[in-house]
Structure 1
Amino acid sequence: MQEQLPLNRMSVSEKLIAINQIWDSLIQTSDDIPTPEWHKDVLSARRKRVEDDVSQFKPLETVKQELRTKFK
């Protein structure tokens, strides 16, 4: 199935809705999506930084609030 979305005729709002629908669809079949090796490497490096007390994880809600404050 090769359908083309009329992107040049879609508003930004319509495009964002389409993106969200695509993500929702991908999440339902996420086990079928292979994880690239480089992604595993990045996650391993980040985990090591946390274990070595060089970095720390923050809750997603905290990060969202920090970004909202920064970009007001």
Structure 2
Amino acid sequence: MKKRPPAVDTQNDMAGSSKVADILHKTVTGGLVLVTAFALADVTRGFSVLVKRNMDRRAAAEQAQEQSDAGHKD
């Protein structure tokens, strides 16, 4: 009867370069997730600023129109 080779535990037998690659991959992936989250927050903030400015411009235009209409009625 032939002896079987021992089962290889891939978690404990991981080569040093593979561990480095795994750490590098996790670091890069985590960094990309953080950059994406910050970019989405920045875009959302920028969009809300644009909407607020647009509302302010419309309110100012309506106020100017009302003043103009009141001035023409006199």
Q: Name which structure has the greater RCO, CA cutoff 8 Å, separation 6+.
A: 1
TM over 0.5: same fold? no
Normalising by structure 1, report the TM-score. Answer: 0.32
Normalising by structure 2, report the TM-score. Answer: 0.32
